């Protein structure tokens, strides 16, 4: 057995079920690993070791009584824009510093009910706005494969923690790529579920028509296992699907015989790093060897995804972030105020970082009288066309495959001066989010510098099981997921 902190969820659960280890031993091993490496990686904003060990003890006691649960006794991490009762939840922002939610997000309740041990809260770009975790108001997280590089974002802390052995698995959120892109850059598996598959109740809202939580894990089986726990109807979120999710784990089979995989020609455009293209094309070849059919498809509105997303997401963000006014939560600017407007303005000016302020300005502009039709309404129409592209493609193919990110991990500071360069990191992950469909990133190789590359698979709405099946088949046929950063 490899080091306890290096196990997958399913390996750890096997060990616990066979009495080969305990939840306390597992949790202690991961906490020690965090102590050893997190000074360099900085994946965590908040650690809750005492509570974690208590939860582990409870898990061991339940197991001793003969009880079991899907995640009983396995330590995981949670992105810090997901509300945790009694544990500070900052969303990576100064404006929420010190805010301790009085309730758990529904997905946290589900994790606890499944017996998971919660290690702490992971770093992110402020309010999940970013692709590198450098927009965190507190500090950047580093990529375990190369400390001079970013882990991606905005769930960079969650991805880095899983890659570096600082959690067996983690939960992130994906609005336009924030689970999949950091998964690709850190060499782990990341899933954006169908919009509505998982409850958003208790997520710090960024763009409500796009936000979805999702798993970041060391392999595909773990992603299926974790999504199974997160997914499900929630009376507290009217956008969740009423039907129960199918059993993802038992649906895992390595059979992709006859599966039709579409490859959009639009995803192999200028700006794609040659090593990434080579690895993705080799992965497609592997699928052919496994019996799948690979054919070209078209997603003609792909070019508009970036502009559409950067109207809709900021518009929704500008409305969602109006609640942070210095009255109700966390931070309030110091000093005496003549008017309440002055209190709002000074609090928001000091409490929000530059990217968040930029998004609020973009969004308010797009929604303002006189521009609403030209920008926001038009973006909504293009969103429908983008969704239509996928509907048309899925009439011919079962899955769509391509790169997750146009490049491997870039260096810290390399893109911070140019927001557009940063926005381009999500060029391949925005359109699935706009269409509301599920997509998964999994490791498919390394570039010349030894940095991980991600393959993205997308499926029609509610067909996560199909993603897991294809990804599992590929994983069984390859060794990429077994590589670990030397760190």
The contact set with ligand GLN (CB under 6 A) reads 128-131, 154, 174-178, 206, 313, 426
CA-to-CA distance for 292 and 484, rounded, in angstroms? 28
Provide, rounded to whole angstroms, the least separation between the CB of residue 487 and ligand GLN: 25
Nearest position to ligand GLN, beta carbon: 178
List of long-range contacts for 28-33, beta carbons under 8 Å, 24+ apart: 28/53, 28/56, 29/3, 29/4, 29/5, 30/4, 30/5, 30/75, 30/119, 30/165, 30/166, 30/167, 30/168, 31/119, 32/5, 33/3, 33/5, 33/164, 33/165, 33/166
Give the full edge-to-edge strand order of the sheet including 452-458.
44-47, 117-122, 75-79, 169-174, 212-217, 189-192, 439-446, 452-458, 399-403, 260-264, 293-297
* Between 176 and 232, CB nearer to ligand GLN: 176
Non-local CB neighbours of 391 within 8 Å, separated by 6+ positions: none
Q: Can you read off the two tokens belonging to residue 74?
A: 């396995």
CA-to-CA distance for 92 and 137, rounded, in angstroms? 6
Q: Can you read off the two tokens belonging to residue 400?
A: 């769509």
Beta bridge partners of 149: 411
Provide, rounded to whole angstroms, the least separation between the CB of residue 181 and ligand GLN: 7
Contact between 168 and 12 under an 8 Å Cβ cutoff? The reply is yes
Provide, rounded to whole angstroms, the least separation between the CB of residue 411 and ligand GLN: 17
Provide, rounded to whole angstroms, the least separation between the CB of residue 17 and ligand GLN: 35
* Between 23 and 128, CB nearer to ligand GLN: 128
CA-to-CA distance for 27 and 279, rounded, in angstroms? 36
- Is the preceding peptide bond at 110 cis, omega within 30 degrees of 0? no
12: left (phi over 0), alpha (psi -120 to 50) or beta: alpha
Kindly list the catalytic residues: 79, 154, 178
Provide, rounded to whole angstroms, the least separation between the CB of residue 132 and ligand GLN: 9
CA-to-CA distance for 81 and 79, rounded, in angstroms? 6
Does the CA dihedral 327-332-335-338 come out positive or negative?
negative
* Between 59 and 124, CB nearer to ligand GLN: 124
* Between 350 and 424, CB nearer to ligand GLN: 424
* Between 24 and 272, CB nearer to ligand GLN: 272
Strands 75-79 and 117-122: parallel
* Between 231 and 430, CB nearer to ligand GLN: 430
Non-local CB neighbours of 296 within 8 Å, separated by 6+ positions: 262, 263, 264, 265
Contact between 203 and 82 under an 8 Å Cβ cutoff? The reply is yes
Strands 260-264 and 169-174: unpaired
Provide, rounded to whole angstroms, the least separation between the CB of residue 273 and ligand GLN: 18
Closest to 121 in 3D by CA, of 153, 89, 97: 89
Provide, rounded to whole angstroms, the least separation between the CB of residue 208 and ligand GLN: 12
* Between 245 and 305, CB nearer to ligand GLN: 305
* Between 34 and 409, CB nearer to ligand GLN: 409
Provide, rounded to whole angstroms, the least separation between the CB of residue 41 and ligand GLN: 20
């Amino acid at each position: 057995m490899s080091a306890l902190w290096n196990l997958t969820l399913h390996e750890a659960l096997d060990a616990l079920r066979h009495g080969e280890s305990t939840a306390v031993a597992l949790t202690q091993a991961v906490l020690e690993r965090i102590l050893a490496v997190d000074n360099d990686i900085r994946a965590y904003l908040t650690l809750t070791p005492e509570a974690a060990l208590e939860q582990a003890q409870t898990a061991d006691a339940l197991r001793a009584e003969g009880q079991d649960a899907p995640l009983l006794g396995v330590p995981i991490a949670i992105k810090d824009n997901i509300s945790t009762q009694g544990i500070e939840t900052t969303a990576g922002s100064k404006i929420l510093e010190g805010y301790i939610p009085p309730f758990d997000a529904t997905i946290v309740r589900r994790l606890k009910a499944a017996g998971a041990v919660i290690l702490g809260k992971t770093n992110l770009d402020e309010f999940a706005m970013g692709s590198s975790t450098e927009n965190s108001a507190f500090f950047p997280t580093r990529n375990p494969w190369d400390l001079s590089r970013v882990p991606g974002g905005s769930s960079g802390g969650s991805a880095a923690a899983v890659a570096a052995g600082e959690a067996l698995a983690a939960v992130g959120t994906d609005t336009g790529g924030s689970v999949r892109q950091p998964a690709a850059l850190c060499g782990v598996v990341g899933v954006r579920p169908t919009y509505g598959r998982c409850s958003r109740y208790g997520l710090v809202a960024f763009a409500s028509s796009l936000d979805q939580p999702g798993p970041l894990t060391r392999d595909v089986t773990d992603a299926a296992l974790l999504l199974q726990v997160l997914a499900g109807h929630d009376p507290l979120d009217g956008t969740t699907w009423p039907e129960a999710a199918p059993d993802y784990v038992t649906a895992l089979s390595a059979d992709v015989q006859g599966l039709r995989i579409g490859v959009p020609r639009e995803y192999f455009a200028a700006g794609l790093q040659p090593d990434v293209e080579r690895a993705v094309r080799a992965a497609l070849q592997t699928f052919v060897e496994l019996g799948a059919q690979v054919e070209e498809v078209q997603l003609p509105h792909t070019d508009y995804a970036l502009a559409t997303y950067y109207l809709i997401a900021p518009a929704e963000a500008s409305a969602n972030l109006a609640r942070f006014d210095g009255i109700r939560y966390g931070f309030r600017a110091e000093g005496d105020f003549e008017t309440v407007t002055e209190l709002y303005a000074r609090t928001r000016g000091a409490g929000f970082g530059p990217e968040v302020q930029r998004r609020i300005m973009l969004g308010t502009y797009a929604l303002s009288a006189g521009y609403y039709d030209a920008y926001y309404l038009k973006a909504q129409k293009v969103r429908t066309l983008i969704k239509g592209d996928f509907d048309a493609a899925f009439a011919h193919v079962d899955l769509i495959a391509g790169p997750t990110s146009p490049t491997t991990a870039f260096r810290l500071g390399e893109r911070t001066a140019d927001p557009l360069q940063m926005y381009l990191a999500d060029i391949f992950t925005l359109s699935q989010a706009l269409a509301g469909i599920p997509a998964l990133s999994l490791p498919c190789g390394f570039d010349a510098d030894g940095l991980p590359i991600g393959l993205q698979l997308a499926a029609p709405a509610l067909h996560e099981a199909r993603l897991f099946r294809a990804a599992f088949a590929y994983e069984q046929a390859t060794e990429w997921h077994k590589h670990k950063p030397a760190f």
